[in-house]
């Protein structure tokens, strides 16, 4: 999932940009989420320090803060080197600084009129979604599922385990940042996955890379984020061997 961030010190403009972005996500039905809309650069940096995200960032340059938007972008790059950065500003004369700070901006939108800003934000969201989808496919495998009317892709590395849902014919995928219920059978999912995944129980498929420890006595697997899943006696030997 692509996470979106807005940093703009003008409250009225920030609310407008936030509304535009939220509406466009709904219209395009993209697998995106507006994670944070704030006037404070530190809010974004604090969030990135605690969460592993792939982001699209809409930043003002003059933030009335100890750092400006270009300096913020440079710091964002330390956490999210492949993120997409867009500047929305009145300061066109500062565009050259994006090259000095090597932030590789996706776009530089001048606050000249509302319609133009909306169209440019729209295009940035479309472009970011296209590039993110291509990048994920290129860099690592993803698990694709249909939930409602959305096709959702989750990187294998972010999947903890799959679990049979109490709802008949459904499965719950547990990832680091979300849980999604969708129509499927575990046996069909198992066939699609690579060897980092293991069918540890009739109701669970676990990602071995994200196991913290295995409780042999209670036949319970503890994942790196604290969640737990069961392991059957029959499947215990195979998992311990691996």
Reported as a single tens digit per residue, the pLDDT across 103-152 is 678 888 888 777 789 999 999 999 999 888 777 665 567 888 888 888 88
Instruction: Retrieve residue 219's tokens.
Output: 């036949």
**Mean pLDDT on 144-170:** 90
Nearest to 6 by CA among 43, 31, 32: 43
Q: Residues in the chain, how many?
A: 242
**Lookup result for tokens 């540890």:** 200
**pLDDT average, residue stretch 160-184:** 94
CB count within 10 Å of CB 88 equals 23
The CA-atom distances, in angstroms, between 21 and each of 35, 73, 97, 145, 242 are 11, 19, 26, 24, 45
What phi-psi label fits residue 222: left (phi over 0), alpha (psi between -120 and 50 degrees) or beta?
A: beta
- Please state the CATH superfamily assignment of the domain spanning residues 142-241 in this structure: LytTr DNA-binding domain (2.40.50.1020)
Q: Tell me the domain boundaries of the chain.
A: 2-139, 142-241
Q: Do domains 2-139 and 142-241 have the same CATH topology?
A: no
- Structural fold of domain 2-139: Rossmann fold (3.40.50)
How far apart are alpha carbons 89 and 112 in whole angstroms? 9
Q: CB-based contacts of 96: which residues, under 8 Å, 6+ apart? A: none
* DSSP letter, residue 148: T
How far is it, in rounded angstroms, from Cα 132 to Cα 140?
A: 12
The answer, yes or no, to whether residue 100 has pLDDT greater than 50, is no
Instruction: Specify the pLDDT at position 133.
Output: 79
């Amino acid at each position: 999932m692509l996470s979106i961030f807005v940093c703009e010190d003008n409250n009225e403009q920030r609310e407008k940009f936030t509304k535009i972005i939220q509406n466009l996500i709904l219209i395009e039905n993209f697998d995106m989420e507006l994670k944070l809309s704030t006037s404070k650069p530190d809010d974004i940096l604090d969030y990135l320090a605690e969460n592993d995200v792939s982001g699209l960032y809409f930043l003002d340059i003059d933030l009335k803060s100890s750092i400006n938007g270009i300096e913020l972008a440079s710091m964002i790059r330390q956490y999210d080197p492949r993120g997409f950065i867009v500047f929305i500003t009145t300061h066109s004369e500062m565009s050259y600084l994006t090259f000095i700070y090597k932030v590789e901006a996706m776009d530089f939108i001048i606050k000249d009129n509302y319609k133009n800003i909306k169209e440019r934000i729209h295009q940035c969201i479309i472009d970011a979604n296209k590039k993110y989808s291509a990048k994920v496919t290129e860099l690592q495998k993803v698990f694709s599922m249909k939930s409602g009317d959305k096709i959702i892709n989750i990187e294998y590395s972010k999947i903890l385990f799959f679990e049979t849902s109490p709802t008949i014919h459904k499965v719950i995928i547990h990832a680091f940042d979300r849980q999604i219920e969708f129509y499927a059978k575990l046996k069909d999912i198992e066939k699609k996955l690579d060897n980092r995944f293991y069918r540890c129980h009739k109701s669970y498929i676990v990602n071995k890379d994200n196991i913290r420890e295995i409780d042999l006595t209670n036949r319970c697997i503890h994942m790196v984020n604290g969640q737990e899943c069961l392991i059957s006696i029959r499947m215990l030997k195979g998992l311990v061997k691996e």
